[in-house]
Amino acid sequence: MLTAPQDGVPLLFIEVDNCHETAEELADKLEKYARFFKRKVKDTDGKERPMWRTRWAAPEGRYGDAPHPPVLLVFNRIGERNPNRTVPCLMQLTRHLWQGDRQRGGHHLYDRKIPIIAVGLNQLREHGPAGPVFARFGRSGPQTLLEAIGNPRREAADAREEEESKARAAQYQAEVRRAAQEQAAKQAAEREARRPVCAGCGAKFTDARWQAVQPTDWGATKDSHPHLCDDCKAGAVVSPAAGTQERQESVRGAAGADDFWPAPERPVRTECGAAFTDERWKATKSVGWTASPAKRPSLCGDCDQRCEADLDKAWGVSHRPEERDQEQEPAVPEQKTGWLSRLRR
């Protein structure tokens, strides 16, 4: 038995044959090794473990691939037996002990199998323990000792699987990022489609202007021109009748406590587009919570008179109160004298 973990050999059982034993006798020894590796005892923690693990330290191995410790057969050409004929026969007799399960990747798993390696003493002397002179049962060609007791094909398959897993993970992350970018671009396009357009110049609102006209809490001050951009709003705040701006401010500042101004800016005529005069503005303002007493508060005085004149021409009657009263006033009939007047006489 040999342990050399510093050299990568945690545990190795060695059988030296001077070429006096037959293949059947060697196979019987290997069967005893198999029974010994299967024997279990309770460890110091009360759990059952293979007995050989309670005496020697060795890697546990992974699930589905936990082979038994390897057995090295060293043939010394002293007796009459030829190892070149003994080894093939021994391989057939012990196949159930060492043969692994072939996997899709081309490697084998040796769960609860015994790695059996054969080597000649003369070759070992010539090439040393690190030379490729070790022949493991079930493999073609000689290998180094570490390769023979290990499973390099499985390690290569594990490395390929790890690389493929990393590539799949990287591809998945790239797809996630691409999907996130597409979703962000779609949301940005939908947001741009909802972006308001200025009713004055037709330009799209900036983010700051769009945020400013958004509805807020009940107590917040509403924007005076929610359909205009910043530039158009600045122009709309200045009245078209620039010459009357100072007078407008003075009139509004001189308003009494009972005056009620319904709009922050001077109204503009809907027909001609000119600003209201101070008299027309006061005449069309609302009184308390009631509507404006003027018939057409959206028209200036001139447009209101023209509209009244057009109605007179269309109907042939006057809609002014004094004219209507004169037209509708009936003639007073002459009082007839009756019997009462005769009595008075």
Q: What is the pLDDT along the chain (345 residues), one digit of tens a residue?
A: 888 888 888 899 999 999 999 999 999 999 999 999 999 999 888 999 999 999 998 888 887 888 999 999 999 999 899 999 999 999 999 999 999 999 888 889 999 999 999 999 999 999 988 899 999 999 988 999 999 999 999 899 989 999 999 999 999 999 999 999 999 999 999 999 999 999 888 899 999 988 888 877 776 677 888 888 888 888 887 655 444 444 444 444 444 444 444 445 666 655 566 666 777 767 766 655 555 566 666 666 677 777 677 666 665 655 444 444 444 455 445 544 554 445 444
In a domain, 342, yes or no: no
Helix axes 23-38, 83-93, angle to 10 degrees: 40
Residues 6+ apart with CB under 8 A from 272: 300, 302, 303
Whether residues 146 and 158 share a domain: the answer is no
Whether residues 15 and 142 share a domain: the answer is yes
In a domain, 334, yes or no: no
Q: Which domain holds residue 166?
A: 152-194
**Is residue 67 within 8 Å of 111, Cβ to Cβ?**
yes
- Strand-pair partners of 75: 17, 120
Domains in the chain: how many in total? Answer: 3
Of 232, 233, 306, 234, nearest to 269 by C-alpha is 306
Residues 6+ apart with CB under 8 A from 90: 23, 26, 27, 30
Whether residues 170 and 107 share a domain: the answer is no
Whether residues 144 and 177 share a domain: the answer is no
CA–CA separation, 112 vs 68, rounded Å?
A: 6
Whether residues 27 and 145 share a domain: the answer is yes
**171, 194, 217: which is the final residue of a domain?**
194
Q: Please state whether the predicted TM-score (pTM) of the whole model is above 0.85.
A: no
In a domain, 333, yes or no: no
DSSP H helices in the chain: 23-38, 51-55, 83-93, 95-98, 121-127, 145-149, 152-194, 207-212, 230-237, 245-253, 278-284, 301-315, 321-328, 339-344
Whether residues 11 and 82 share a domain: the answer is yes
Of 207, 276, 265, nearest to 236 by C-alpha is 265
Whether residues 127 and 171 share a domain: the answer is no
In a domain, 27, yes or no: yes
